[in-house]
Amino acid sequence: MAIRRPGSSAVVAVTALAPVSWGTTYAVTTGFLPPDRPLFTALARALPAGLLLLAVTRVLPRGTWWAKAAVLGALNIGAFFPLLFVAAYRLPGGTAAVVGSTGPLFVVGLSALLLGQRPTPRTLLAGLAAAFGVSLVVLRGAGALDLTGVFAAVASTGSMAAGTVLTKRWGRPDGVGPLALTGWQLTAGGLLIAPVAFLAEGAPPALDAPAVGGYLYLALANTAVAYWLWFRGIGRLTATQAGFLGPLSPLTAAVVGWAALGQALTPVQIAGMALACGATLAGQLPAPRRDRPTTVHPTPASAPTPAPRG
């Protein structure tokens, strides 16, 4: 067992680029993509990116990592993506964002169960503050809520939190970088989505130029690059630190929406943004040494056969 030190501010900043990128997903989905195709959108986002990274790294799992990659792919991609897009299509963006901002609390609870990292009053308070701050920024009166959309939003948040914590618990096999791990998960998740998408939604829709551009952006920048940065960061940060970067996604979504519509921020929204950002920063503070999680090093049997990597 080896104690992993909390990540530096530079690692936190680079990892934060992932949820910032994900914050543009809602605007791209509603502005450029075909309506009512959440499963196809999830598939187009995941599988091409995963196959591209597999071709670049040329590293496949071995031993128990076939099963671990499948589980992580299901949680981080295969379940998370479809649920996320169902929520995006069926809920107002503000409602979906508030549900998603509870992610740090999911991570704190799962870290206690799976990593032995006891929650502290500071992290619990910061998690509540982050969710409340996001609600001040994005939540508006929306009338009756779609229960399917609410369930999808909650389930997607829990799925991503579980994937984050298990990614931290299992680490990476010796000799495997975060780019290969990202490719495994995107491919596994995409293969899980594919049959469900075709059975539920039928043949792919006709795509115009904006839709093609939107899918390319989601697959490359928003997924391949962003998830590589995310899994790279999880390897260097605690699960709690990574989880507390999640509220940056709905905040970015709100800012992108305002910029596109030319709307100004109200004083309440500015206060909410400051509160959520402060809670995110509080979540980066190191935990007491006795509460820091340990990193379990994989056995040699689980390491993949070395191969050239790009």
At 234 the pLDDT is: 92
The residues that bridge with 3 in the sheet, in sequence order, are 294
At 273 the pLDDT is: 84
Tally of CB atoms within 10 A around 195: 10
- Whether the full predicted model's pTM is greater than 0.85, yes or no, is no
The residues that bridge with 2 in the sheet, in sequence order, are 295
pLDDT in tens, 192-250: 999 999 999 999 999 999 999 999 999 999 999 999 999 999 999 998 999 999 888 88
Residue 298 has pLDDT above 60, yes or no: no
Tally of CB atoms within 10 A around 184: 26
Q: Which two tokens stand for residue 123?
A: 């992290």
Most confident of 18-32, 84-98, 154-168, 283-297: 154-168
Q: How confident is the model at residue 93 (pLDDT cuts 50, 70, 90)?
A: low
Q: What are phi and psi of 285, to 5 degrees?
A: -65, 140
Q: What does the DSSP assignment read for 71-97?
A: HHHIIIIIIHHHHHHHHHHHS-HHHHH
